[in-house]
A and B are shown apart, each in its own frame.
Chain A
Amino acid sequence: MDKLILGRYIPGNSLIHRLDPRSKLLAMVLYIIIIFWANNLVTNLLMLAFTLVVILLSQVKLSFFINGVKPMIGIILFTTIFQMLFTQGGEIILQIWIIRITSFGLSQAALIFMRFLLIILFSTLLTLTTTPLSLADAVESLLKPFEVFKVPAHEIGLMLSLSLRFVPTLMDDTTRIMNAQRARGVDFGEGNLVQKVKSIIPILIPLFASSFKRADALAIAMEARGYQGGDGRTKYRRLKWTLKDNLALLSVIALGALLFFLKNP
């Protein structure tokens, strides 16, 4: 099984790659909030321009972005067409039988299309330029101040990093178990729905069993290595927030401000 698929991180040394994952994560959150202010041509063009500039700065080939959009194309088109056909208002542009496409419907469809596209492009940008592990670190770090409110930031961070560590291992386990069961005559993906579902059991049960065993052994090993929870722990992996991170956030905020002023009321 491909080991690169997870996170689809493409190594590189661009400005975007070098940003602290926290600023990228926060920028993404802001981006998704302000995109709802882009409700006319000008604001959408602005968003698009901004997004394209960032994509350019990432120095990642466009083909990777297209591959990021491809799996979602079905849902994008479906929603767009749905909007087009069922949102009514303004002049009637086209009428065939009972299907009526109006100008408002068209503009709403275009809007929805843009939003989908932009969000997918931006989040793809995030995963293409940031390793899953650094995103996990970012989440933990951003949640840390909320520990006062009993949010288990350290535990969440550890769960994330352990999961990332074990995903390739578990994928290997799955392949191995599948092969062993195929050697015993199981045919995966063949037969009717009931048969297909039944054939998952000889994979799922051994996988769960071995995962529990792993977790058990891991817990003992962690205890033996002195793990007592988050208190008093130092961190080896450090994130570095620099000036460019401030600038990155500021640019998104500035974009948001512009959108706010230029949007339709």
Chain B
Amino acid sequence: MGITLEGVNYTYQKGTPFEGKALFDIDLTIADGSYTAFIGHTGSGKSTIMQLLNGLNVPTQGTVYVDDMAITAGSKNKDIKLVRKKVGLVFQFPESQLFEETVLKDVAFGPQNFGVSKERAEELAREKLAMVGISEEFFDKNPFELSGGQMRRVAIAGILAMEPNILVLDEPTAGLDPKGRRELMTLFKELHQSGMTIVLVTHLMDDVADYADYVNVLETGKLILSGKPSDIFQNVDLLESKQLGVPKITKFAQNLRKRGFQLERLPITTEEFVEVLKHG
């Protein structure tokens, strides 16, 4: 189950004096089972696209195809509600969405909004909480008693409990310490390996290189580049001119190349670089 955007345009606050166009003729596909990254500045349209992927917003023009559902400007909320379940959206600093009396109840909240029974929802909640590494002793605690990192994992469990086919993540590791970041990225990798499609919106190019198999580059509402990370990151100068970086190793290798070292392709991971050196 993938997502396709066809000729998508989006104008916010249409019809008011504050209206503005956020997306221009976007055509892209998020392949089923892929780990797709979106990179771009604040204002590039990343957040707008995210909210189109799960039907929170509908396109002003064009169509968003999620599985067999077509979302257009005229789509009514009740018809596309199911999309929000199929495509789980984790916003930045998701811990701010917690509100229930207990951790378990909060995680069980989402599924119940889609008709899942309370018992089944709690079952799912237990499952997903274990998956994100929250132990049982916390299940009956008030979510506000947990640490920031723990609250974030509870929030993510809350989205996973809806059993989405596609997980969209907006800077999921923002504000976390290195250990917390690694744990989360490992979790997403495992989810991906078990068949979930992952969409990652990020600023961290090293993460894109380490995890993603496809990347879309956005700038002021337009798709300017898309392809495999190893191809996209060859354009070091272009990306830097747009103030989007490249993985550290890629920049490092480029510096070596500038000195005269022969490198056909710039590596995007440290392992790749070392391999290249090994084989001359």
Contacts and interface: CB of A to CB of B under 8 A. Distances in A.
Contacts of A205: 99
A202 interface: yes
Contacts of B65: none
- Interface-centre pick from A176, A184, A201, A209 (highest chain B CB count, 10 A): A184
Q: How many interface residues does chain B have, given as a range?
A: 20 to 34
A209 B88 CA distance: 24
Interface residues of A, number: 21
Q: Interface on chain A toward B: helix, strand, loop, or mixed SS?
A: helix
A183 interface: yes
A253 B110 CA distance: 62
Nearest to B110: A184
A195 B94 CA distance: 24
B97 A187 contact: no
A216 to B, nearest CB: 12
A183 B84 contact: yes
- Interface-centre pick from B56, B97, B162 (highest chain A CB count, 10 A): B97
B56 A179 contact: yes
Given A184-B158, A209-B144, A177 B84 contact: no
Contact of A183 (B89, B96, B98, B99): B89
B18 A176 contact: no
Interface in B151-192: 158-159, 162
A256 B88 CA distance: 64
B108 to A, nearest CB: 11
Contacts of A173: 96
A184 B99 contact: no
B144 A180 contact: no
Given A173-B96, A176-B91, A185-B112, 19 more contacts: A2-B13, A2-B16, A4-B18, A177-B96, A179-B56, A179-B91, A180-B97, A181-B97, A182-B56, A182-B84, A183-B88, A184-B109, A184-B113, A184-B158, A190-B77, A202-B109, A206-B97, A209-B144, A210-B96
Interface of A: 2, 4, 173, 176-177, 179-187, 190, 201-202, 205-206, 209-210
